[in-house]
């Protein structure tokens, strides 16, 4: 289970991890999740809580008013997809109290970028949407963009 950090701390640590990854020729994957619901703040907190259970202690998790952000250390995009699929499966089977749409995007350093902003733009460009159509958990997964 991963602890939450502030968005500022998240960006600072991500920038340092990107530099470390370049030096050691490792991978870092940035995952962005954007929950959309009538009560967005509750949806963001609920998704963050579920995601925190699926991450390793060494991974980084942050929440702002609209986005749950994760950094998967020493993980290329192929290995990160396993974590993302596990998270998506957990979200698809969770009984949200209200309908929630969740957009997920991921990008890997150095493949998709080597700085925070480039990686963030790349993650936003690869979004997939998980739609909670009903409060009883019916889900639809589709690709976007």
3-state secondary structure of 141: strand
Per-residue pLDDT band at 129 (split at 50, 70, 90): low
Q: pLDDT tens digit string along 4-60?
A: 889 999 999 999 999 999 999 999 999 999 988 888 888 899 999 999 998 888 899
The pLDDT of 102-122, averaged and rounded, is 92
pLDDT of residue 127: 81
Q: pLDDT tens digit string along 46-105?
A: 999 999 998 888 899 999 989 999 999 998 888 888 888 888 888 888 888 778 888 888
Output the pTM of the full model: 0.85
Pair of tokens at residue 64: 């702002």
Residue 34: Cβ within 10 Å count: 20
SS3 annotation, 50-88: HHHCCCCCCCEEEECCCCEEEEEECCCHHHHHHHHHHHH
Task: Provide the CATH number for the domain formed by 4-143 in this structure.
Answer: 3.30.70.270
Q: What interhelical angle do 7-24 and 116-125 show, nearest 10?
A: 100
Distance (Å, rounded) from C-alpha 45 to C-alpha 48? 5
Per-residue pLDDT band at 110 (split at 50, 70, 90): very high
Domain positions in the chain are 4-143
pLDDT of residue 119: 95
């Amino acid at each position: 289970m991963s602890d939450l950090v502030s968005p500022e701390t998240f960006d600072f640590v991500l920038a340092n991890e990107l530099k470390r990854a370049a030096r050691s020729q490792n991978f870092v994957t940035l995952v962005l999740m954007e929950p959309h619901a009538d009560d967005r703040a509750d949806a963001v907190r609920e998704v963050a809580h579920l995601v925190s259970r699926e991450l390793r202690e060494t991974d980084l998790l942050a929440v702002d008013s609209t986005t749950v952000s994760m950094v998967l250390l020493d993980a290329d995009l192929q290995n990160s997809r396993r974590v993302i699929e596990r998270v998506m499966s957990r979200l698809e089977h969770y009984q949200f109290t209200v309908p929630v749409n969740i957009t997920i995007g991921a990008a890997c350093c150095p493949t998709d970028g080597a700085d925070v902003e480039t990686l963030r733009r790349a993650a936003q460009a690869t979004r997939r949407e998980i739609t909670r159509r009903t409060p009883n958990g019916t889900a639809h997964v589709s690709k976007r963009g």
